[in-house]
Structure 1
Amino acid sequence: MTDSRLPAAPPALHAGSGRVADYGRYEGRVFDLSTAAWDGSRGAFSPRRLQRKGWMYFGAFTPRYMVGYAVADAGLMATAFVYVYDRQAKKLTEHKATVPFGFATDFAPSPDADWQLRGGKRHWHARPAGSGWDVRFEAPGLKLQMEFRDAGPGMTAIASSPGRPFHHTWKLCALPLRLALEIDGQRIEQDATGTLDFTLGYPPRHTDWNWASLDGVTEDGQRIGVNLVAHFMNGHENAMWLGDRLLPLAQAVFQYDPAQLLQPWRVHTADGVLDVQFVPEGERREDISVGLLASRFTQPFGRFTGTLKTTDGVKKVEGFGVVEQHHAKW
């Protein structure tokens, strides 16, 4: 594994006259995320409503609990979900919502935005706080708060999108956070680690991907975070957080049975630097079909073990995380 440094992210998504900044993989985030050059009119059939997608995803991992949380502006509709898996009790608690035109036309997706969605008695709210984020959910039977602390500049990827302007994502892995849960009358507070995924772009009308977000340690005690994607983004967003370093990874290969997603997965990079077995303990799935939009989404969560090749030799790695199979028409 080479310890190559990623170039700094461009200051803006646009490079003048509506031209997209150079495609590639960068260290740091893009701060000017204006999509006005591509969004067209403010009507229901504008690119802003029909093509542009933005979301914030947060994951948290402890030896007992796994948490997934997302709020998404999909143009014609907004969606959100949260789940908590109690490994000790083998219990999954989940809430979700779909709200037509849930975000205003002038909503500008950003890590600095105030993301809120209500669905009945369920309330999702994620906002920046200090150098991190305050992420909350409240519904009968479940209250959740994740206080994320910033952990470095993160990784930006910008890729082409056939027939559409571009696709962009910013990821942070191995983030320290404080997790507070109030579930079934019991309150739990724990330190945890987790991941953040901010995405803003214009994905292809038909989109497929596999994704893995892994959080763990090496056998010599280094914190490791991994983000891998296949079939999407041209491999630009494959990266690893190892200690205080952010390192690029090669193309990702996902080997699993699509008909048996709770069987073990093998996830590795084409150059053999990372090779892990992921063993699901449960899954969160959803099948949405609303007008022009459809999404078939499955996110198994569980444990991983494997090896990492470094300049110091091969090291064993282990931890927790999620993998994903996603088919979308949007």
Structure 2
Amino acid sequence: MQHELQPGPLLDETGRLFQAGWAREESKTYARAAIKAPWHRIKEWDYYCVVTDRHALALTIADNSYMGFLSASWLDFETKRDLTDNAIPLLTRGRLGLPESADAGDVAATHNGFSLSFSHEAGGRRLKVSAPGFAGGKGLEGEVFLRQPPMDRMVIATPFPKAPRAFYYNQKINCMPAEGEIRVDGQTHRFDPARHFGLLDWGRGVWTYDNTWYWGSASGLIEGEPFGFNIGYGFGDTSAASENLIFWKGKAHKLGYVGWHMPEGTYDGAPWRFSNPQGRFELDFEPVMDRAAATDIKILKSVQHQVFGRFSGTVRLDDGTALQIRDLMGFAEEVQNRW
């Protein structure tokens, strides 16, 4: 079953989801004040990632209630170099003011000289970063404008078994043409909107303590047209809908189950495989670089493997049209959190 969400409030008066399911647009209205769960279980974030054949830029502003999280990463796929800096303000409890809509409201945060801002402008979104101390003084600074023409996105509302007031409301917007430049360690890198694309992962919810998720995404050009996909699973009750979608020329094509066939004992070595029982998503994944991170302070633990690489194979649209994918750069990740 792939149940489509109807417009209206996300939560009822008891703080439970009105509906579980998916949508092509922001159909449900999120309100932090409607949450009835303990404050420390509320998690909110905006994560942007711009991927090219050679580099990736990732920017995050998150408010996990007992702490905030500002992050900037610059990845070089040729040298396998991952430069990342984080700032962690404590006991934010919503003070970072992340917007209650993915389509309105700006957010900016500064901590210990590290500044990030995500704002809406006519026709798209502007991302700004200033981190003079980035990567031990190498420095990272610049701005990127992500154009957002009318197009579908992935929206999903997911409940958690045995936790009636826990939920995850997530939006993924693929295929946003990226324009701008980033300066890293004195070198300038430019994004070309004719061939480079950005992604937004917009997450709001009440999470249970121990979770593992799997998420894959890519955006690019196929036959000269914008193409992307979002795949994932691993947490909550997804019986109402999966988050698996293909995007082609701005339109969403819904998928059900997509199997992840990952090699054991390695993340960036042997190829991966993704498959759909109906033959609509048959892609091989050649890992290029594992962006790995691990934090373990007993009560809180996070183990992340965001693996960037190239997807090749065949996908089929709702009408059966087959698209051939070759060396499309994207990522697939496994993340384990106790938070």
Category of TM-score, reference length = shorter chain: 0.7 to 0.9
TM alignment of 1:217-228, pairs within 5 A: 217-218=221-222, 220-228=223-231
Q: Which residue of 2 is the match for residue 60 of structure 1?
A: 50
Q: Which residue of 2 is the match for residue 314 of structure 1?
A: 322
Q: Which residue of 2 is the match for residue 11 of structure 1?
A: 8
Question: Does the C-alpha gap of structure 1 residues 305 and 293 become closer, same or farther in structure 2, counting only changes over 3 Å?
Answer: same
Q: Which residue of 1 is the match for residue 250 of structure 2?
A: 244
Residue 199 (1) aligns with residue 189 (2): no
Equivalent pair of 1:6/1:247 in contact (CA under 8 Å): no
Corresponding letter in the other structure for 2:189: I
Q: Which residue of 1 is the match for residue 263 of structure 2?
A: 257
Equivalent pair of 2:17/2:159 in contact (CA under 8 Å): no
For 2:35, what is the secondary structure of its paired residue?
A: helix
Corresponding letter in the other structure for 1:157: I
Counterpart of 1:75 (choices 38, 62, 65) is 65
Q: CA deviation at 1:200?
A: 0.4
For 1:123, what is the secondary structure of its paired residue?
A: strand
Counterpart of 1:212 (choices 187, 210, 216) is 216
Q: Which residue of 2 is the match for residue 184 of structure 1?
A: 185
For 1:100, what is the secondary structure of its paired residue?
A: coil
Q: Which residue of 1 is the match for residue 168 of structure 2?
A: 167
Q: Which residue of 2 is the match for residue 85 of structure 1?
A: 75
Question: Does the C-alpha gap of structure 1 residues 285 and 91 become closer, same or farther in structure 2, counting only changes over 3 Å?
Answer: closer
Residue 145 (1) aligns with residue 132 (2): no
**Identity among equivalent pairs (%):** 22
Corresponding letter in the other structure for 2:316: K
Q: State the Cα deviation string for residues 11-38 of structure 1 (Å, max 9, x = none).
A: 3212455442211011211463113232
Q: Which residue of 2 is the match for residue 115 of structure 1?
A: 107
Q: Which residue of 2 is the match for residue 44 of structure 1?
A: none
Q: CA deviation at 1:177?
A: 1.8
Question: Does the C-alpha gap of structure 1 residues 193 and 105 become closer, same or farther in structure 2, counting only changes over 3 Å?
Answer: closer
For 2:8, what is the secondary structure of its paired residue?
A: coil
Q: Which residue of 2 is the match for residue 100 of structure 1?
A: 90
Equivalent pair of 1:181/1:187 in contact (CA under 8 Å): yes
Equivalent pair of 2:233/2:242 in contact (CA under 8 Å): no
Question: Does the C-alpha gap of structure 1 residues 18 and 230 become closer, same or farther in structure 2, counting only changes over 3 Å?
Answer: closer
For 1:36, what is the secondary structure of its paired residue?
A: helix
TM-score where L is the length of structure 1: 0.87
The size of the alignment, in residue pairs, is: 318
TM-score where L is the length of structure 2: 0.84
Corresponding letter in the other structure for 1:231: G
Paired with 2:98 and 2:57, the residues of 1 have a C-alpha distance of 26
The root-mean-square deviation of aligned C-alpha atoms, in Å, is 2.5
For 2:230, what is the secondary structure of its paired residue?
A: strand
